[in-house]
């Protein structure tokens, strides 16, 4: 058995240990002495050309958008609820009143999503705050993908509606069912 392994190991070419530049390492090959090369002007890495300002910035011509960049479906709301529960409830709480566990432990509370100013805020506001941060809230740009930020925004709108709904918001055919159900 040992006789067979000796010739096999002699054929090893060490392709896993190729000469290469390490990031931030000095290198005399280039005139500037850096191994890391600057990005070529005017180029964009594949998958990084974010030209849809509505989707990637929540703005059009510098103004916050009032519409979503895609249709809001049950699946989008479900994803938004899942992401909201992961990233937002520690501060904002399950219903968005700004009473999450972090706040209960003494940290500064965020504003309730149910105050008039935020109920009237354009949807682009919530997307922008998640993207860039505001006040004590830091940005989630690198933690939450743009589609998920929009899904969370849709879920925040659903929370706002659920906590501030009036009987007039219920379709006519459903109102009668609500009136018939009497709490005991």
What is the per-residue pLDDT across 130-149, written as a single tens digit (0 to 9) for each?
999 999 999 999 999 999 99
Partners of 134 in the beta sheet?
137
- DSSP code string of 39-60: PPTT---TT-----HHHHHSEE
Q: Give yes or no for a contact between 129 and 141, defined as CB atoms under 8 angstroms apart.
A: no
Kindly report the number of other CB atoms within 10 A of residue 85's CB atom: 13
Kindly report the number of other CB atoms within 10 A of residue 172's CB atom: 7
Options 3.40.630.10, 1.10.760.10, 3.60.70.12, 1.20.1420.30; CATH of 59-165? 1.10.760.10
pTM of the model: 0.72
Q: List the chain pLDDT tens, one digit each, 184 residues.
A: 666 555 565 566 667 777 778 888 888 888 888 888 888 888 888 877 888 999 999 999 999 999 999 999 999 999 999 999 999 999 999 999 999 999 999 999 999 999 999 999 999 999 999 999 999 999 999 999 999 999 999 999 999 999 988 888 888 888 888 777 666 6
Three-state SS for 120?
coil
What residue ranges do the domains of the chain occupy?
Answer: 59-165
For residues 143 and 165, give the distance between their C-alpha atoms in angstroms, rounded to a whole number.
32
Kindly report the number of other CB atoms within 10 A of residue 155's CB atom: 24
Residue with tokens 């432990």: 105
Q: Give yes or no for a contact between 140 and 130, defined as CB atoms under 8 angstroms apart.
A: yes
Query: Which residue stretches of the chain are H helix?
Result: 2-10, 53-57, 74-87, 89-92, 101-104, 116-119, 123-132, 146-163, 172-180
């Amino acid at each position: 058995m040992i006789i067979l392994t000796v010739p096999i190991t002699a054929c090893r070419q060490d392709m896993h240990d190729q000469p290469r530049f390490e990031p931030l390492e000095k290198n005399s090959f280039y005139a500037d002495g850096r191994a890391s090369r600057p990005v070529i002007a005017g180029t964009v890495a594949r998958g990084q050309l974010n030209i849809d300002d509505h989707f990637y910035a929540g703005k059009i011509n510098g103004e916050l958008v009032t519409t979503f960049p895609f249709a809001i479906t049950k699946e989008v709301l479900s994803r938004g609820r899942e992401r909201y529960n992961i990233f937002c409830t520690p501060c904002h709480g399950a219903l968005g009143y700004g009473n999450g566990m972090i706040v209960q432990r003494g940290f500064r509370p965020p504003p309730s999503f149910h105050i008039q100013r935020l109920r009237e805020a354009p949807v682009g506001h919530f997307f922008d705050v998640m993207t860039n941060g505001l006040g004590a809230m830091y940005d989630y740009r690198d933690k939450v993908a743009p589609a998920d930020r929009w899904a969370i925004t849709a879920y925040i709108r659903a929370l706002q509606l659920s906590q501030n709904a009036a009987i007039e918001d219920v379709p006519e055919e459903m109102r009668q069912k609500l009136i018939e159900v009497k709490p005991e």
